[in-house]
Structure 1
């Protein structure tokens, strides 16, 4: 008998010009900076070189972000820049494990159907006009941030509902209603998780502020600090989209309302899985909001609830769900924290601090100027580092150390810089935007237009919050 020849499957990975550029530029940058006297201490000089390699790989997305992070922390250790414990110190930081808890809670809310039920329930009952429907989607997006910290998960849920609603109305995906609903669902999913310690970016920002600034960052304090901003943002998003994308017809036809009600009816009564999810998620939210009373670590709370979600007959997740989680985001966050720690320990941040702050320092003189200069500097810096967590990990430690040396408190500085990462005008700047864009309802020009307007709006809001409201709640 002759063995049947099995065809060999070859997987071809096609790289973009940007990725090829990153693969070529990253090692060249490493070699160049390794031998360039950027700092009097060799350890700092070499740490800067490896950090630059990581930044190039992250910015160009030449390889997966988690892999780029692993390469960097390995080189810190293998090339003798740092001992093993320090090179991989980010993995012993609480921040990646806070993120794991958030991911588990998000997966639980999705699998149980609770997130979809909440979204459909609110949207289906808001009224019959496009204006009411638009406002409902924005509010639901904000409320889901408490339950689903992942912006990608939220935009996936809400964009699917919005797209189905538009189709049920008999409107095309290039209609004003379609463009307005999809772009605001996408953009607010990316913005709201900066107003809570919920998504990976704000979780990482909190971790860096605590690590570098040596101050405690409370979940409740962050929420209260940005609560006025959240409310104003909801209203501004609503009015801006109504202005930019006036509906073809204001009142929804019965088909649109029927579509939403049908989707809700299909869910039936609350299932046992949804009830367990509601209890566990409610416990997490209550404990996070009352941290100032019991002082339980938010990371511990999130990870505890996340692990309970995996316990049979207590949670709703199983081993198969665990294997599907995006652990790469956790490893990437840990690697980013490791890089920040090594740059601090080797004094390599001194070089980065000097380069970034030379022009900013003369402009920052108080709450008014700090809110403007920090916000727009971070906005521009984000052009070069598309990934939010890479942007924060490479810049926030330097910002905190510099302004700390000038007598500024690290908490407001860190909160402004972290929040500024929400301002975006290009699709490549966020995975959340990429997911929303993939639905085909809005184009790059729509995002540029909406992004510029909302970025300016958020800047104006900060201009009033930072000097007037934040001191009243102890942030100054």
Structure 2
């Protein structure tokens, strides 16, 4: 069996696309300032004459290093997280098993299983075939192609939990479509296509427990909120929002960036030609489809068997590596990016350290004191939580670090005041999808680096979609979620 074209190019394309952005970020004032703050602030907190226990203060000092490094991107997120966990242990703030407890949590390994899913779909060519098949069926006018891209982005969320991987796969298709339309950088067609495939990749994985952010949030809600988070309940809770978001995102993109031409200018049979090149389904594609369909079926029925989504995800991911059953080999495993696993593990560890050192109690009082008077009913609570999460995310360059640092605080806040941890956690997680600047997500950075849209374009579309999602939540949370027991 041979790998499909494009399967091995994923990591190369990501590196090539993201490299200019990474170099600019490294030389930016924010980067230098972040490195300075990541040293100065923790030292000041460590020696500050605060009226709290020494262990609490020292835990907060190291935690401030991790958060500042994540916000400013002074270091790679996984490296900063590992350094923080090491300092918790080396400086005797907590024992080793507490400092690195996140790596024994199923959330980090769920993310590893998700990475194996992406490797399967990419290597087999199933993701690319699925994308072209959807677009072929929606039509070859620009508006229909755009709708096809959004629907494909949504469907790929089930197969490829990594938002970056989805952007790269969709970008490869979009570049071909751009050529077929005779459009280039700076055109409304180019801006519309690349904006929507980039932004959608960061929304849908909050409505489905798939990407690193929602997986991190799920782990935090279960661990610190003490409630069960079912994959199926989360999926059905956001299903109406999925459908409406697809339609609204489609309409907004057409409205903000009307195409220079409505249909393909040449190579009208481009989509069909690409599908014919792929030929009939390969054995590898069929095997991948079977494995992934089995996982999705188990996730959708977890309200019956109550098997953890992590067990299913990692189990199917590992099954894909078993000779004679799966589609991956040892070389494929070597190419998997393990750094996100370290990042998620360290973020969970940080939350546990805050609990053990009672730093969580201190932060909860400071962070949520002003919110309490505003959480008077389900309508105001939904609105306040969503927009607080949105503003909070402006100061965090990663949605994973946003959720990893705030979910433990939010769960503690909910339990102390008799609020529903699951509902609050789901709203807060969804708030992380609202973004208006590229630095807020690595997914946005990768899409932005292709050069087809500018920061002001992202700001316009992001602000509109954020407002729309807020209104949708105001309807779903009080009127629909109670029907699901949330």
Give the TM-score category using the shorter length: over 0.9
Q: Secondary structure at the match of 1:425?
A: coil
Unpaired runs of 5+ in structure 2?
Answer: 1-22
CA RMSD between the two structures: 1.2
| Per-residue deviation, 1:358 | 2.0
Q: How does 1:279-358 map to 2 (within 5 A)?
A: 279-358=290-369
1:69 paired with 2:81, answer yes
Q: Relative to 1, partners in 2 of residues 1:216 and 1:173: Cα closer, same or farther, differing over 3 Å?
A: same
Alpha-carbon distance between aligned partners in 1 of 2:175 and 2:460, rounded to the nearest angstrom: 21
Pairs aligned (count): 462
1:164 paired with 2:176, answer yes
Partner of residue 173, structure 1: 185
Partner of residue 142, structure 1: 154
Deviations 1:364-391 (A, max 9, x none): 1121011110111111111111111111
| Per-residue deviation, 1:254 | 4.6
Is residue 81–residue 346 contact of structure 2 (8 Å, CA) maintained in 1? yes
1:125 paired with 2:116, answer no
Is residue 219–residue 288 contact of structure 1 (8 Å, CA) maintained in 2? yes
Alpha-carbon distance between aligned partners in 1 of 2:450 and 2:159, rounded to the nearest angstrom: 23
Q: How does 1:432-451 map to 2 (within 5 A)?
A: 432-451=443-462
Which of the numbers 455, 458, 466 marks the counterpart of 2:469? 458
More displaced stretch, 263-272 vs 464-473: 263-272
More displaced stretch, 457-466 vs 56-65: 56-65
1:217 paired with 2:220, answer no
Q: Relative to 1, partners in 2 of residues 1:364 and 1:38: Cα closer, same or farther, differing over 3 Å?
A: farther
Which of the numbers 347, 352, 363 marks the counterpart of 2:374? 363
Partner of residue 400, structure 1: 411
Alpha-carbon distance between aligned partners in 2 of 1:227 and 1:279, rounded to the nearest angstrom: 24
| Per-residue deviation, 1:251 | 2.6
Alpha-carbon distance between aligned partners in 2 of 1:355 and 1:380, rounded to the nearest angstrom: 16
Alpha-carbon distance between aligned partners in 1 of 2:49 and 2:394, rounded to the nearest angstrom: 27
| Per-residue deviation, 1:15 | 4.2
More displaced stretch, 150-159 vs 39-48: 39-48
Alpha-carbon distance between aligned partners in 1 of 2:209 and 2:477, rounded to the nearest angstrom: 18
Q: TM-score, normalised by structure 1?
A: 0.95
Q: How does 1:181-196 map to 2 (within 5 A)?
A: 181-196=193-208
Is residue 166–residue 173 contact of structure 1 (8 Å, CA) maintained in 2? no
| Per-residue deviation, 1:344 | 1.1
Partner of residue 374, structure 1: 385
Partner of residue 8, structure 1: none
Deviations 1:229-279 (A, max 9, x none): 101101100111111111112232351x32222222221111111111001
Q: Secondary structure at the match of 1:203?
A: helix
Q: Secondary structure at the match of 1:375?
A: helix
Alpha-carbon distance between aligned partners in 1 of 2:249 and 2:51, rounded to the nearest angstrom: 46
Alpha-carbon distance between aligned partners in 1 of 2:435 and 2:416, rounded to the nearest angstrom: 30
Is residue 225–residue 415 contact of structure 2 (8 Å, CA) maintained in 1? yes
Which of the numbers 285, 294, 306 marks the counterpart of 1:274? 285
Q: TM-score, normalised by structure 2?
A: 0.93
1:227 paired with 2:239, answer yes
